[in-house]
Structure formats: C-alpha cells, structure tokens
C-alpha cells in the first residue's frame, strides 16, 4: 500500500512532461501557420496544457470515480483563474487583449452557465456531453476562422516552448506522440494514488478532485502562464487560462460524459458557485484597465486561499 503514495508524484511528473511534449510539438506546428499569439494561446497551448485534466477525468470516470472526474474540472477552473492568473499578475502585470472581452469571455460564461444548468438534475448524461462537445467544435471553428484574418505572428514564448528552432515535422509529431503517451500513463498513476490517499485519510473523492487532482493537473497551465506573463506575452498568459477553462467544460466534460455519464456526487453547489463567480468576476477585472495589475492578482490569490481554507474545514 505504501508504494501507492508514490503514484501521485510520479504521475505528476509524467503529466507535466507529457503536456510539455504535447505543447512543444503542437506549438511548433502552429508556428508554421503564422497565426496570432492570442489564437495559439486560446487553442493549441490552452488545449495542450488541459490535456492532463482530460486524461485524468477520463480515467477517473471509467474507474467509477465520477466525483474525481467532475471535481477535477471544477477545481481546475477555479485554480486557473484564482491561483494561476493571480500568481502571474503578482509576478508581472498582465496585458489584456480586447478580443478576450468581446468574444472569448462570453463563450466561457456560456460554457459555465450550461454546465450549471446541466447539473440541475445532479448528473451530466451523454446527450449533455455531446452538446458540450459540439460547443467545442464550434469554438475551434471560430478560432480557426479568426486566425486566418489575423496577421500577427506567434511570438517568442511559443518558440521557446518548442524542442528546437526549425524542428522537422517528424520530430514534432514524435513529441506529440510521446506527450500523449506520458499523459495517459501519468493520469493512470495519478488517479490511482489519489484514490489511495482519499481512502487512507478518509477524504471524499470530490474533495481530492477539487484540490489535489485539480492543482496537480493545472501545473502545465501554471508553467506556461507564468512564463508568458514574465516575458510580457499577456495574450498567451490570459488566453491560455480562458481557453483552458473553455476546453475543460466543453472538451473534458463533453468527452468524458459521452464515455461515462458524470454524477455531481460530492461536488457541492458552493464549489460550482465559486467557479461561476470567479468566471463572472474576470469580466470587470479585465475591463478595469489595460493590464491585470498586481493588486488584482493579490485579490485573486486571496479568493483562492479563502476557498481552499473553507473546503478543508468541511472535508
């Protein structure tokens, strides 16, 4: 049993490097398309860094741990906004792109509202999952259309995440394949370890999904967002968070629910309300100036730690 506790750190390592390989290969391929930094941040980077959440939620749902699967999505969305964006803003004020306010934030609000509506009956079935997935397809199609209209090239932060300048197509595809393999194995180990920890500590699977699993699978978002913010690439930093949260709902909930319907279980309405409030709060935070300032970053961090303290108090 003791060795099972090592599955969490080993799984995290594989999830991190698997996501890095996937983002590296996919970003280098996107670089050749000449699309904008914001488009890549909202799609390639955002979906690549959300890959750990997808693999973990799928594995958890198929293992009968629907609480972990749904809690992972809700907890990751909370963590992405309050913790990761907060850390990035505290390190360096993050520049805001007007397109996020006009197009992508409304999509995120619609996605969050749809998930809350779908959970009124305490579960998300295959039909609701298919609707989520169609929303993802529509969002991707819109971004591809937008990308063709934009001339701004993908910036240095994307290139720096790639294996090497001018890497061949075969090498990029190899990085993607190895990344996916690492994600699959890492997700299996991570969920196995999380289950053991939950049973040993007497914690609910939902709590584990909302906290340990959510933060662990959000490490790729943390790395990319902080790197982008420190290099002055606000488009990628904020785009990565908004795009990841959209993918978490439309992609992860959609795909997972089509494979295995999700039960709300121990995910409380307060957890869902926290996700919804943070999502809605992003709009005035992003509208209140050209930058997400350090003071707003501190506010976001404070809200996350307050939520975490409350969650631990009722665990």
Q: How far apart are CA 190 and CA 60, in angstroms?
A: 10
The pLDDT value recorded for residue 134 is 95
Copy the structure tokens of residue 86. Answer: 């907060």
Express each pLDDT in 143-167 by its tens digit: 777 666 654 444 444 444 444 445 5
Express each pLDDT in 100-120 by its tens digit: 677 788 999 999 999 999 998
Over residues 132-151, mean pLDDT: 78
Q: How far is Cα of residue 183 from the mean position of the Cα atoms in its chain? A: 14
Q: Categorize the per-residue pLDDT at 9 as very low, low, confident or very high, splitting at 50, 70 and 90.
A: confident
Residue 262 phi, psi dihedral angles, 5° rounding: -105, 135
Express each pLDDT in 48-72 by its tens digit: 767 778 888 888 888 888 888 899 9
Q: Categorize the per-residue pLDDT at 133 as very low, low, confident or very high, splitting at 50, 70 and 90.
A: very high
Q: Categorize the per-residue pLDDT at 276 as very low, low, confident or very high, splitting at 50, 70 and 90.
A: very high
| Superfamily designation of domain 2-313 | NCX, central ion-binding region (1.20.1420.30)
Q: Categorize the per-residue pLDDT at 44 as very low, low, confident or very high, splitting at 50, 70 and 90.
A: low
Q: Categorize the per-residue pLDDT at 169 as very low, low, confident or very high, splitting at 50, 70 and 90.
A: low
Q: Which of 21-35, 66-80, 101-115, 235-249 has the lowest mean pLDDT?
A: 21-35
Whole-structure pTM value: 0.80
Over residues 118-144, mean pLDDT: 89
Over residues 78-87, mean pLDDT: 92
Strand partners, 123: 263
Q: Categorize the per-residue pLDDT at 94 as very low, low, confident or very high, splitting at 50, 70 and 90.
A: confident
Judged against a pLDDT cut of 60, whether residue 87 lies above it is answered with yes
Over residues 210-237, mean pLDDT: 75
Q: What is the mean pLDDT of the chain?
A: 79
């Amino acid at each position: 049993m003791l060795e099972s506790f090592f599955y969490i750190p080993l799984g995290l390592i594989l999830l991190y490097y698997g996501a890095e390989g996937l983002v590296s290969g996919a970003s280098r391929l996107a670089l050749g398309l000449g699309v904008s930094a914001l488009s890549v941040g909202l799609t390639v980077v955002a979906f690549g860094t959300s890959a750990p959440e997808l693999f973990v939620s799928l594995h958890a749902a198929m293992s009968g741990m629907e609480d972990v699967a749904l809690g992972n999505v809700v907890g990751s969305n909370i963590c992405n906004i309050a913790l990761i964006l907060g850390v990035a803003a505290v390190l360096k004020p993050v520049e805001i792109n007007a397109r996020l306010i006009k197009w992508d934030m409304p999509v995120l609000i619609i996605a969050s509202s749809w998930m809350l509506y779908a959970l009124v009956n305490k579960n998300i079935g295959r039909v609701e999952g298919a609707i989520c997935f169609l929303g993802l397809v529509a969002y991707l199609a819109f971004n591809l259309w937008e990308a063709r209209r934009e001339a701004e090239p993908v910036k240095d932060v994307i290139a720096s995440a790639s294996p090497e300048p001018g890497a061949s197509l075969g090498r990029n595809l190899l990085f993607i394949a190895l990344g996916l393999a690492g994600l699959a194995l890492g997700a299996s180990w991570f969920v196995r370890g999380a289950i053991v920890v939950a049973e040993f500590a007497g914690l609910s699977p939902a709590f584990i999904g909302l906290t340990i699993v959510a933060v662990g699978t959000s490490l790729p978002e943390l790395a990319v967002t902080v790197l982008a913010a420190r290099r002055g690439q606000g488009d990628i930093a904020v785009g990565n968070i908004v795009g990841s949260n959209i993918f978490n709902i439309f992609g992860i909930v959609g795909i997972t629910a089509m494979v295995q319907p999700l039960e709300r279980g121990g995910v409380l309405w307060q957890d869902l309300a926290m996700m919804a409030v943070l999502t809605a709060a992003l709009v005035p935070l992003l509208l209140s100036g050209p930058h997400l300032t350090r003071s707003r970053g501190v506010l976001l961090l404070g809200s996350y730690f307050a939520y975490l303290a409350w969650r631990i108090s009722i665990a």
